[in-house]
Chains A and B, each alone.
Chain A
Amino acid sequence: MAADPEKFIQYNKNMVQEIFRKKEEYHLAQARLPIEEKVKILIELQKMSLTIRPKQNETDKRLVWQIECK
């Protein structure tokens, strides 16, 4: 038996809505983390940023924070 196209479209719509809802939840959860946890994430982001776009010259002063995270 062929699948009902209406049901298929509705299923996809629901799935997309669910993905967006989960994404929103994730971003809110990230925003609500304690600042100390956010700084740990920030340092990882700094490392990734310098890997993706390495320093090109001496004037580029980007420095991964050299701090102890508890």
Chain B
Amino acid sequence: MEKTIQVIEKAQNAGLFSSYAIGGGIAALFYIEPVVTFDLDIFIILPESSSPLISLSPIYSWFSARGYKPSQEQIVIEGIAVQFIPVYNDLVKDGVLDAAEKKYGNTPTRVLKPEYLIALMLQTYRSKDKERLSMFLQETTIDYPLLDSILLKYNLKTVFETFKEQYYGR
């Protein structure tokens, strides 16, 4: 995964995106026990553009030119299927901007903080999110004041309370 991260860092240095953070199942892997997942989700903030349409073509072209061929919505980079996901709402954007600085091997990288991952799981709230949420609450250290401020900002406090009631009782 180190080589993959190094290539992603190069793409950022080339100006394809202004910022990035690892999200999804691999971000969760940094904080909780391993759960199977196949994709490395990379949330990206694209450079300012005058067009209202978001295009990933420059990203696909850049990787293609370096031998990493896109296939459907993913690009296999150094043996790992990577999905580049432009930030699709303010919560994801905040998460990328406030991402945790981590290291994989000797390579620095950025990972969504657990508090943002929890908020995102509450926003999507699929059954796998609920399962993962309960693991986060049991297995990792959470900055509760930060979580509280995020949940308040994105109107997710009620969903969180409902979740806690369902899983842990009153």
Contacts and interface: CB of A to CB of B under 8 A. Distances in A.
B13 interface: no
B97 to A, nearest CB: 22
B63 to A, nearest CB: 16
Interface residues of B, number: 28
A51 B152 CA distance: 43
Nearest to B3: A67
A35 B104 contact: yes
Contacts of B34: 30, 38, 41-42, 45
A42 B81 contact: no
Interface string A48-65: 110000000001011111
The secondary-structure label for the interface of chain A is helix
Interface in B1-18: 1, 3-4
B30 interface: yes
A33 to B, nearest CB: 8
A69 to B, nearest CB: 9
B131 interface: no
Given A38-B29, A66-B79, A31 B139 contact: yes
A39 interface: yes
B31 A31 contact: yes
A61 B1 contact: no
Given A36-B105, A61-B81, A65-B1, A27 B76 contact: no
A42 B3 contact: no
B127 interface: no
Contact of B76 (A30, A63, A70): A63
Contacts of B74: 61
B166 interface: no
B37 interface: yes
Interface string A14-56: 0000000000100110110001101101100110110000000
A36 B29 CA distance: 10
A48 to B, nearest CB: 8
Given A36-B105, A65-B79, A66-B80, 7 more contacts: A27-B138, A30-B33, A35-B102, A38-B29, A38-B34, A49-B36, A67-B78
